[in-house]
Structure 1
Amino acid sequence: MGRPGVRLQEVLASLDDIAAFSLAAAWDNVGLLVGDPAMAVTGILVALDPTAEVLAEAHERQANVLVTHHPLIFQPLKAMRTDQPLGRMLAMATRDHMAVVACHTNLDLASGGVNDVLAARLGLTDITPFTADNGATDKLTGLGRTGRYAAPLRADEFIERLMAALATPTLRMVGKLPPTIARVAVCGGSGADLAEAAWQAGTQVLVTAEVKLSIARWSEAAGLCIIDAGHFPTENVIVPVLADVLRERLAHYGHDVKVGITATQRDPFVPVRRDDHAGHCAP
Structure 2
Amino acid sequence: MLVKDLLGNLDAMVPFSWAEEWDNSGLLVGDPESPVTGVVVSLDPTPEAVGYAVEKDCSVLVSHHPLIFSPLKKLDVSTATGKAVSFALKKDIAVISMHTNWDSSPRGVNAAIAAAIGLESVSPLVPSVSGAWGLGALGNLPSALTGRELGQAIRSALMLSRLDLYGDSHRPVYRLALCGGSGGGLWDGAKTAGADAYFTSDVKYHERLEALYEGLILLIGDHGEVESFSLDALAGAVSEASGFEASVFRSTPRLPVVID
TM range (shorter): over 0.9
Determine if contact 1:178/1:204 at 8 Å carries over to the other structure: no
Equivalent position SS for 2:73: coil
Detail structure 1 runs of 4+ shifted over 6 Å in the superposition: none
Kindly report which structure 2 residues correspond to 1:16-165, keeping only aligned pairs within 5 A, or say none: 16-136=11-131, 141-165=133-157
Displacement of 1:248 in angstroms is 2.8
Q: Residues 234-263 of structure 1, C-alpha deviation per residue, up to 9 Å, x if partnerless?
A: 21111111111221344xxxx4x341111x
Distance, in Å, in 2 between the alignment partners of 1:85 and 1:234 is 22
* Structure 2 counterpart of 1:269: 255
Which residue in the other structure is 2:236 paired with? 244
Q: Look up the match of 1:260.
A: 247
Cα shift at 1:77? 1.2
What is the TM-score when the length of structure 1 is the normalising length?
Answer: 0.88
Cα offset for 1:169? 2.4
Residues 164-183 of structure 1 mapped to structure 2, 5 A cutoff: 164-183=156-175
Q: Distance in 2 between matches of 1:119 and 1:273?
A: 32
User: Whole-Å Cα distance in 2 between the matches of residues 135 and 18 of structure 1?
Assistant: 15
> Residue type of the partner of 2:102?
L
The 1:175–1:154 alpha-carbon spacing in structure 2 relative to 1, beyond 3 Å, is: closer
List alignment gaps of at least 5 residues for structure 2.
none
> Is the CA contact 2:42–2:64 (under 8 Å) kept in the aligned structure 1?
yes
Matching residue's letter, 2:77? T
Q: Given the alignment of the two structures, is residue 227 of structure 1 paired with residue 231 of structure 2, yes or no?
A: no
More displaced stretch, 73-82 vs 185-194? 73-82
Moved more, 59-68 or 143-152: 143-152
Letter in 2 for 1:260: S
Could you tell me the percent identity over the aligned residues? 33
- The answer as to whether partners of 2:29 and 2:96 remain within 8 angstroms in 1 is yes
Asked whether the equivalents of residues 69 and 102 of structure 1 are also in contact (C-alpha less than 8 Å), the reply is yes
Superposed displacement of residue 153, structure 1: 2.5
The CA deviation string for residues 191-245 of structure 1, in whole angstroms up to 9 with x for no partner, is: 0100000000000111000010010110121011111111012211111111112
Contact 2:148 2:170 in 1 (8 A): no
CA distance in 2, matches of 1:227, 1:47: 25
Matched, 1:15 2:1: no
Aligned-residue RMSD, C-alpha = 1.5
Which residue number corresponds to residue 197 of structure 2? 205
Bigger CA drift: 223-232 or 160-169?
Answer: 160-169
Which structure would you say has the larger Rg?
A: 1
Unaligned runs of 5+ in 1: 1-5, 275-283
